[in-house]
Structure 1
């Protein structure tokens, strides 16, 4: 095992011979291999393995959006999923969704099937669509995934659901991406990020990319493209992040804003540290804002007391003067 971080610092020893034998027994034994001949009309579409969806179908979310107009998941449905609205972030990063990695794998299968069948009715229930197809019926057997289906989300919520679960998986997975994508930021890179990103909560006339959306886009890119270690670390990061068809950014972020402000000196190799730098800045800004609120609260609590004391002193002074 090359990356010991995956084992959380412990060595892993694999018996490759045994693994190959078990895989052969599961995948090959008593199976038929079908090969498409050059002049044959037999058509077999390739399928992605788990976490390989965006390697072969990198624009699948755009394809789904073109087939079915997508909408955000309603707040009441979000509450049913275990998410609560957060004033700073779009939704809290923690939820009650269990086995999020398995659910994400099921959603990858569902996305591919929706694209293949070219269904266009966004108001159709996801559960109804899954149960209609025998090939998808096994998805409903997954306990956690069936709970999500029972919430009665629609196909027009499919992309939002995928991105929601994806974020849960990314929070864990991105910590263990290959070290070649964890190159340190130069001072110029940190300056470029700071100038392009809006870390302060106050509204400003200066055009900026909101820090949370910047971090979210980096997180999505890492999970979708860097977990398999195929991307060249020397590529400029803007090649991917400025491509609107890859759907890294929320729909509320204009493509023109990203094209204009995304830091040009970042490389794919700097992705992880650009993300951690941004998250650290967000935490610092939130802490400053919280301290500022506490200071104002304390000031408001002390001012009335000081005013009352001053009033008492003035009344005492007038009483002495009147007695004279």
Structure 2
């Protein structure tokens, strides 16, 4: 790989006690192979002495020289590498590309743009199951992604989204597998075994956004826990009250207008993964500026835009995003537990009623089956008639 045109020429800012790493600028026709990053990740080599390896110290306290480690990594990864510039009026140029999980920083409305190019629809549930994971509702905090190598698959889908947007293909029924195969620039996607296996499922370009969102949710379940602390500011009592007033946790069938709780939680989760993992977002901005923008594609298609504009809590800030999500998830889980308990009690009461023997006694009927007030006729003997 090489650095795109908008890459910073200096890796670190300079000060009296900090070493400054700078990259030389060259035009593309001046670049030699040694100037291009061509690195295969080796976990054993790079992470051999990382702070995650507790076996190194064997229980003893050790101090890591982080400055030296950084210098050695810089030497391994970027020594003699250059910042490539485009020569004026030259046909030699380097296309700008997004790094992994940076797609929405430069193309924040790309999903809406794909929808405008190609009419989209959800993936049928039977095909979702064939992909290797179930379409969950986002109500569980996953410890690991349900899909193997979900983060790498998401990176491949980011490349695919950018390419589909660039080629402006309009055939929604075209197979994703066939589309990838027809472009040499996308051939590297087939090198990813899990992604290549997914392409064997009969998915069309009309399923592309749905596929991205399904994989994205698996990644978000893990990634959002590690966003910066500035996006985890506690909710005030007024903020909690606003969420309770705006969100439907009971799945009521009344005419009360409210945002479905599952959709509210999913929108917050998508926002965190797409915009808060890089720490560039200003935490004091109102959250509704982003969540009420329908072109950012945070909401399920079943939630009306008018409902979001009218009811989304306006006192929430970007800084409160994670806590708003956590608060919502906790209420959802409590509500589900309450509903499950009530359903269990109702079932037990019904079973107890069915098991109770029927009461057939009638106070107006005596033991012999005769009604009171009527004398039972005496049975005559054949000897009496003689």
State TM-score, norm by structure 1. Answer: 0.87
The higher radius of gyration belongs to 2
Q: Quote how far apart the aligned CAs of 1:34 are.
A: 3.7
Q: Which residue of 2 aligns with 1:154?
A: 204
Q: Quote how far apart the aligned CAs of 1:307 are.
A: 5.2
SS of 1:218 mapped into structure 2: helix
Q: Which residue of 1 aligns with 2:337?
A: 287
SS of 2:366 mapped into structure 1: helix
In structure 1, distance between residues paired with 2:83 and 2:355? 85
Q: Is the contact between residue 146 and residue 218 of structure 2 (CA under 8 Å) also seen in structure 1?
A: no
In structure 2, distance between residues paired with 1:318 and 1:144? 79
Describe how 1:20-169 pairs up with structure 2 within 5 A: 20-24=74-78, 29=81, 34-38=84-88, 40=90, 44-84=94-134, 89=137, 97-169=147-219
Q: Is the contact between residue 97 and residue 144 of structure 1 (CA under 8 Å) also seen in structure 2?
A: no
Q: Quote how far apart the aligned CAs of 1:80 are.
A: 0.4
In structure 1, distance between residues paired with 2:241 and 2:128? 37
Determine which of 353, 356, 367 is the counterpart of 1:319.
367
Q: Quote how far apart the aligned CAs of 1:160 are.
A: 0.3
Alpha-carbon displacement from aligned partner over 1:252-283 (angstroms, at most 9, x marks no partner): 11111100000000000000000000001111
Matched, 1:302 2:352: yes
Aligned residues: 309
In structure 1, distance between residues paired with 2:217 and 2:148? 13
SS of 1:205 mapped into structure 2: coil
Higher helix share: 1
Q: Quote how far apart the aligned CAs of 1:22 are.
A: 1.9
In structure 1, distance between residues paired with 2:247 and 2:310? 12
SS of 1:214 mapped into structure 2: helix
Q: Is the contact between residue 81 and residue 96 of structure 1 (CA under 8 Å) also seen in structure 2?
A: no
Q: Which residue of 2 aligns with 1:173?
A: 223
Q: Which residue of 2 aligns with 1:16?
A: 70
Q: Which residue of 2 aligns with 1:3?
A: none
Q: Quote how far apart the aligned CAs of 1:320 are.
A: 6.8
SS of 2:95 mapped into structure 1: coil
Q: Which has the higher contact order (CA 8 A, sep 6+)?
A: 1
Q: Is the contact between residue 105 and residue 275 of structure 2 (CA under 8 Å) also seen in structure 1?
A: yes
Q: Is the contact between residue 84 and residue 92 of structure 1 (CA under 8 Å) also seen in structure 2?
A: no
In structure 2, distance between residues paired with 1:122 and 1:304? 55
In structure 1, distance between residues paired with 2:138 and 2:265? 12
Q: Structure 2: where are the runs of 5+ without partners? A: 1-50, 55-61, 373-386
CA distance 1:317–1:128, change in 2 (3 Å):
same
Determine which of 274, 280, 303 is the counterpart of 1:230.
280
Q: Which residue of 1 aligns with 2:248?
A: 198
Q: Is the contact between residue 236 and residue 266 of structure 1 (CA under 8 Å) also seen in structure 2?
A: yes
Q: Quote how far apart the aligned CAs of 1:319 are.
A: 1.5
Q: Quote how far apart the aligned CAs of 1:202 are.
A: 3.0
